Each structure stands twice: as C-alpha cells, then as structure tokens.
Structure 1
Amino acid sequence: MNKFFTGIVCAITLTLTSCQFSENIYINADGSGKMEFSMDASEMMEMVSQMGDGEAAKGMDKVMDSTIVFKDFIRENRDSIANLSPEEQQKIMALEDFKMHIQMNPETKKMVFDLTTDFKDANKLQDMFKAMNSFSNLQGQGGASQNSPSSPFSGMGQDGSTAVSYSFDGTVFKRFSKVIDKELHAQSIDSIGQSAAMFGASKYKINYHFPRAVKSFSKEGAMYSEDRKTVTFEVGFMDMLKDPEVLDFEVVLEDK
C-alpha cells in the first residue's frame, strides 16, 4: 500500500487527541453543496516541536501541502487493496467519494487536515462520522478496534453506537443525532479513559453556510456572519461525544 498514505493515517491518528474539530457545510440555492470536516492539530505541532527529534516528531518535520483524492487512490492501488481483508477493503471503499487535504509546516507550527465531499441533495448528506470512523481505523494491520481510545470516532458512524442525519426542505435545515446502541455508546465513552483529559480543551464547531439569510437558530449562543448567511455554533468536544444530541438543532432561513 502507498507508504505516503499510511504515514498520513498514522500522523492524523497521533494528532486526534489534540485537535480542534469543525463541521462545515456549504449549501447552494439548488440544494447541492460541499461538506467538510476539518481538524486543526496546530497545537499538537507546537507540542511536537518542543519535544525535539523524538519518535513523535518523525514525519512532522517537513512542509507538506498535499491532496488525496480517494477515488484516484483506490483506482491506483486496486491490486494492493484487493489483497486486504474484506473489512479493510470496506473501510477504504467508504472513503471513495472523499478528498483529504493536508497542510503541515513545522516552522509556522501549522497542521490542518480537511476531509471533504460534494453532494447533490442536502437531504442525502453523508454522515461524516462514518468517513472519519473508516479513516481513523486505517491504522495498519487490524486497524483500530471498536471503542478504541486511539480514535474518538471509533464508536461513531457505521457499525457504531451513534448516527447523525440531516434534512433540508429549502427553508428549514435540521441536524439530528441518535444513540442507536446505548450500551455500546457507554462503552465508547468509558474506553476513552485517561484520554478524556487530553480532549478537555478541544472544541467541536459547526459552520454552516446557506444561500439565504438565517432567520432563526434553535440553540442559544450561535454567531452569525454580517449577512446572516453563515451560522457558527461551538460546543466542547467531550460534551458532544458524551451527548451527541447537544448538536441537534433547526435552522430556519428567510423566505425566498
């Protein structure tokens, strides 16, 4: 398998415990758009730079600005992928419609990862957690097990304990979560264990961009752009993991 890809997976897995996470959705007037999941691990880059030339710094000492188009990656590595277990193949194929953009600069202490996908209908938005679950589980042979503390997303998305869905009728946009397996969800939170302290300062930010001004947002504490077409809402990352419904909300746009 592509060594560069494997190295990127390991780097992202290492930095997951020191990320600021953003869920960004851009909706056009016709209901199409782009969904982006962003991880800012610049704080981790700062920590690694202070550690010097240790094991954790390997692979993070070079400037990088690269894009992985998973559809192309799958096509170019189809023979190698065919030799993987069915489970590993499924993880990779789940990323087929996504692109990963990586920016890393040890001098400016910048490390940002963006996972994006386009959609034709906002009602059919993919659960980004499914993609993150698949990606973060690609950690070499065997991947990350269910409820693994090495990835906070291992209990979410496909085959996990929670699911996130979206709906949009042109005026009302809804984001809603559901814990589909309460026992598994509890196990997921318990498995994070001591890593919870590392996530304590991490935030999960919603940035939604609409074709018309936002009339109302069902949660208190939201911020708006000057034209009110963009709404931003932020919660603690651990709060979101413990209670996914904290990010359930409804956005009502101004009349056409």
Structure 2
Amino acid sequence: MKLKNLFFLVLFSVLATSCVFTEEINVNRNGSGNYSFKIDMSEMMKSMGELSPKDSLATPEKLDTIIYFKDILEERKDSIKQLTKEEQELLYSLEEFKIRMNMDEETNKMIMDFNLDFENLQELADMEKKVSKIQALNDKKQEESIPSKADVTYEMNGNTFHRKVTLKKLSEEEEKVFNNSIEQSSSFLEGSLYKVIYHFENEIKKVSFEGAQISPNKRTLTIEIPMDSVLKNPRLLDFEVLLK
C-alpha cells in the first residue's frame, strides 16, 4: 500500500472509534512559532488488534515517517484544478505543512501529527477548515465537507494571547448537514477528547478558561474538554491568556 494511501485510510478511519485530538502551539515573543494538531488513534489500533487474527510469527509493523503536503498537492494537482479559485488558494496556503505518521502495532500506537512552522499567528486563521480540506483531495466526487459552526483565530496584543472563536451563521441546509453529522457520530464523539496545549516564553499570570492547568514553570497551559462539547459549542474554547 502506498504511504499516501495509508495516510488517507487512517484519516477516514478516525470516524470509526474514539480519539484524542491535541492542538499544541509554541508561541515565541515575536509571534512566530510552531503549530501541531495531533490525532491519537491508539484506541483504534487496539480495537483493530483485538479483532484481527493473531499470527505469532508475524513481525509487528512499525512506521515513523513524514509526508510533505506539497507532495500530496503535486500528486493530486489535476483534482485540485477542478476546485474553485478560493479552494485552490486555501489548499496551497498549506504547502509547508508536514504530516508525521507514527504507528507501532506492538504497542498499539498510532498518531498523526499535522505540523507547521509559522511567522505570525495570522497564518493560523481557520486552521481546522484548512486541515479538513485534505480529505477532499482523496474524494473523486469532491463532496462538500461538513460545515463548521465557527472561525478560530489567534491574536497576541501586548501580553495578552487570545484564542478567538467567532460563530458563523449557517444556512438552513448547512445547519441540517451539521446536525445530521453530529447525530451520526454521537458514539465516536462521546468517547473523544479535545486537548489544548500552549507553550509561551513568558510566564502565565492568568487564564480566563476555568479549569485550565498551568505547568510548574508557568509557561505551559493545558485544557481538556469532551470533543462533542467543543463541536456543539465552539465558544467554550474562546479564552485569553495574560502573560507577565
């Protein structure tokens, strides 16, 4: 199986079982940094292992590699040409993305990491929407993706970092598609977790999100929330971080 085909197979398999989604950002004082969106599918690996017939002679498969998104864009350039100009620009804005696949059958480990170095926080606007477009590249029918209920942006004003969530007005048809998707994925969503981990160079003085965990050195915050709660009410993750 080609590596890129394995990548898409894993991406679609996410919907079959509960996962841990981790949004991790390292923010430098000048506003540059690194963005990482990890999908931990280890629970899926464990379930697959329990269902598959055991072969004591087989060597457990291991995979640790990096896929460059610009290679995927090149491979599917003909399909991309069929998209609107706006959609093409959106996809090519992700050209520098790296996707790390880390799988180990022996330890039931499977993690996909979407990774991007950025020069300023504005580059991270609507990152969820951008990453979701990857799925469309492998869909020959080019079906519409599930509409998002919110836009997420990141701002740094002085010593205040803001994860800003702006709700969008969905059309009646988009609202119907969204609600149907939530209903069909209810069992998956109920067992899934969304984690936010942010690292700063300056110490953290205060976080507006109640229950946020701050590391002993006061430079890292962690937030954990059920995935279904985030999808139903995205503004739960609208918060500010006051730095020293």
**TM tier, smaller:** 0.7 to 0.9
Query: Is 1:206 matched up with 2:196?
Result: yes
1:189, distance to aligned residue in structure 2 (A): 2.8
Q: Distance in 1 between matches of 2:136 and 2:200?
A: 32
Correspondent of 2:77 among 78, 81, 99: 81
Corresponding position of 2:29: 29
Correspondent of 1:178 among 152, 159, 166: 166
- Percent identity between the aligned chains? 32
1:180, distance to aligned residue in structure 2 (A): 1.3
1:85, distance to aligned residue in structure 2 (A): 4.7
Q: Distance in 1 between matches of 2:80 and 2:118?
A: 29
Q: Distance in 2 between matches of 1:10 and 1:144?
A: 17
Closer/same/farther in 2, CA of residues 180 and 130 from structure 1, 3 Å limit: same
1:62, distance to aligned residue in structure 2 (A): 2.8
Per the normalisation by structure 2, the TM-score is 0.86
Q: Distance in 2 between matches of 1:137 and 1:241?
A: 20
Q: How many residues are treated as equivalent by the alignment?
A: 233
Question: Which one is further off, 212-221 or 115-124?
Answer: 115-124
1:144, distance to aligned residue in structure 2 (A): 4.9
Amino acid at match of 1:223: Q
- Pairing of 1:94-243 with structure 2 (within 5 A): 94-147=93-146, 155-156=147-148, 161-182=149-170, 183=172, 184-185=174-175, 187-243=177-233
SS at match of 1:18: coil
- Pairing of 1:4-83 with structure 2 (within 5 A): 4-16=3-15, 17-52=17-52, 62-75=61-74, 77=75, 81-82=77-78
SS at match of 1:193: helix
Q: Distance in 1 between matches of 2:4 and 2:191?
A: 29
* Structure 2 gaps, min length 5: 54-59
Amino acid at match of 1:98: F
| 1:77-114 residue CA offsets vs partner (Å, 9 max, x unmatched) | 3xx52355522983753531211001011110000010
**8 Å contact kept, 1:20–1:203:** yes
Per the normalisation by structure 1, the TM-score is 0.82
* Structure 1 gaps, min length 5: 54-60, 148-154
**8 Å contact kept, 2:42–2:108:** yes
